[in-house]
Amino acid sequence: MTGAITPTAIIVGAGIGGLSAAISLSRAGWRVSVFEQAETLVPMGAALSLWPNAIDALDSLGLHDALRAISEPLDEVAVAEPGGTRIAAFRVSQCLPGRTGLMVTRSDLQAILLAGLGAAPLHLGHRLADWRQDAAGAAVRFENGVEAHADLLVAADGIWSGVAKALTGVDARHAGYGGLLALSDAVPDHPPQALGLEYWAQGERFGHFDIRGGRKYWYFMRNEADPSGSAAMTVEAVEQAHGWTVLARAAVAATPADKLVRFSIHAKPPPRSLGTGRIILLGDAAHAMEPNLGQGACQAIEDAVALGAAARSGVPDAVLPLYQRMRLKRVRQFVRLSRQGSMVAHRLPRWQMAVARFLMRTIFGALTPFQIRRLYRLPDYEKQI
Ligand SMILES: Cc1cc2nc3c(=O)[nH]c(=O)nc-3n(C[C@H](O)[C@H](O)[C@H](O)COP(=O)(O)OP(=O)(O)OC[C@H]3O[C@@H](n4cnc5c(N)ncnc54)[C@H](O)[C@@H]3O)c2cc1C
């Protein structure tokens, strides 16, 4: 850090990305304020997979013990026919010895991030209305009339980020599928196996993952012509869709109706930049991706760690160039791969799907360990400065 004046940052959005960025910048010696439009913080969705890259990133933010206390290990990831016959699988621990992924509920993750904020103020009920850059940084105004100024503005305001739209001219688009997801109550007779399993049918997928407490996180996705498609989806439609396995049906049966979350998938194309001047785009605001690799939040957390490394010198003008140099190529790759992940289940016609499954069976094992190691290792951002 240079000079005696503490550099300042405004973070807009208190999702996983914004809260992680607040912790990371605070640890880098910045004075941070977080502004969130919601009056109370309610996590959207149910649960998340965190892969070793995000686990290492959260550990580097001082959350090692808190994270382990809320997590269930996730080692084997498999794709199967609806009746359970495996198409392909890999184990994280075989690709990265000694490692697994972790499954967490979104509310638990949010709680440990909030605890990690420490003294950084979180202003709820502040919806960003206007912002501009000036010679000394960035100025913001919220709909409630509050104004603030800082050396840096971090827009972590999610997939529909107004800041990102204004800077890039790009908006998220419907990806053509959506569905139902939920966190079940404990599922008797099906103890955790550190397993994440997806069943693929034509234009439909069902996935389930182990969550602490014997619960399952499950989702059902199917092709939909427009984003209103999932609004009418019922749990009966999920149960009747295919001859899902006993475990899949048990997870659905153990889910109270008020725990069902309807969703429609939207994503952006790979980003061309991650901000301009003193304005930084982070998380879904920068690179909203389809959920097929389970890396959207992981990449938001990585953004935060890289941002902290880029900001450590305390020189505001140096932050965006460093952050962008370290992150742009990697996040573009995740956005592209996440889109490819929906090809087989959602985009290919039936005959091509059979070919794709055959190819997956034969080449998955050979390619995956190399890819997994490359994607799931946290780059050493401190060293890249
Ligand atoms: C079905 C599904 C499954 C997924 N599964 C996984 C997974 O297993 N693993 C994984 O890593 N990722 C997963 N993701 C992706 C992950 O959910 C997102 O990438 C992640 O939550 C993005 O976090 P964020 O903080 O960038 O954005 P958000 O969580 O959207 O947070 C943005 C925040 O900004 C606030 N905000 C918005 N506009 C304003 C404004 N004008 N003023 C003030 N505040 C504002 C919002 O209220 C919100 O709190 C999944 C996504 C989906 C849809």
List, for residues 279-290, the tens digit of each pLDDT value.
999 999 999 999
Of 327, 381, 308, the closest CA to residue 30 belongs to: 308
Of 9, 38, 283, 44, the closest CA to residue 161 belongs to: 283
Distance of CA 329 to the CA centre of its chain: 17
Q: Determine, yes or no, domain membership for 33.
A: yes
- Tell me the two tokens of residue 203: 């234009």
Q: Determine, yes or no, domain membership for 319.
A: yes
Of 121, 120, 130, the closest CA to residue 153 belongs to: 130
Q: Determine, yes or no, domain membership for 303.
A: yes
- pLDDT for the residue 365: 54
Distance from Cα 13 to the centre of ligand 1, integer Å: 9
pTM, 2 dp: 0.96
Structure-model confidence comparison of residues 361 and 225, the more confident one: 225
| Helix-then-strand count for the chain, H and E | 13, 19
Amino acid found at 179: G
- Please state the domain count of the chain: 1
Q: Determine, yes or no, domain membership for 134.
A: yes
What CATH number is associated with residue 31?
Answer: 3.50.50.60
**Which of 36, 49, 154, 198 to mutate to test ligand 1, by most ligand atoms within 8 A of the CB atom?**
36
**Which of 11, 16, 35, 161 to mutate to test ligand 1, by most ligand atoms within 8 A of the CB atom?**
16
Q: What is the pLDDT of residues 173-182, one digit of tens each?
A: 999 999 999 9
Confidence of residue 117 (pLDDT cuts 50, 70, 90): very high
| Euclidean distance between CA atoms 340 and 177, whole angstroms | 14
Distance from Cα 300 to the centre of ligand 1, integer Å: 9
Structure-model confidence comparison of residues 349 and 183, the more confident one: 183
Q: Which atom number of ligand 1 is nearest to the Cα of residue 142?
A: 42
| Euclidean distance between CA atoms 288 and 362, whole angstroms | 31
> How many residues are present in the chain?
385
Of 309, 286, 296, the closest CA to residue 263 belongs to: 296
Distance from Cα 109 to the centre of ligand 1, integer Å: 13
Of 98, 76, 99, 100, the closest CA to residue 88 belongs to: 76
Q: Determine, yes or no, domain membership for 347.
A: yes
Q: Determine, yes or no, domain membership for 278.
A: yes
Q: Determine, yes or no, domain membership for 61.
A: yes
Report residues whose beta carbon is within 6 angstroms of any ligand 1 atom.
Answer: 12-18, 35-38, 45, 48-49, 127-128, 156-159, 162, 181, 263, 265, 283-285, 291, 294-298, 300
Confidence of residue 360 (pLDDT cuts 50, 70, 90): low
Supply φ then ψ for residue 40, to 5 degrees: -135, 150
Range of the domain at 302: 8-173+267-384
Q: Which atom number of ligand 1 is nearest to the Cα of residue 126?
A: 43
Over residues 221-248, the mean pLDDT reads 87
Q: Determine, yes or no, domain membership for 30.
A: yes
H helices of 191-273, where? Answer: 235-241, 246-253
Q: Which residue has the tokens 């995000």?
A: 54
- Tell me the two tokens of residue 290: 């389809």
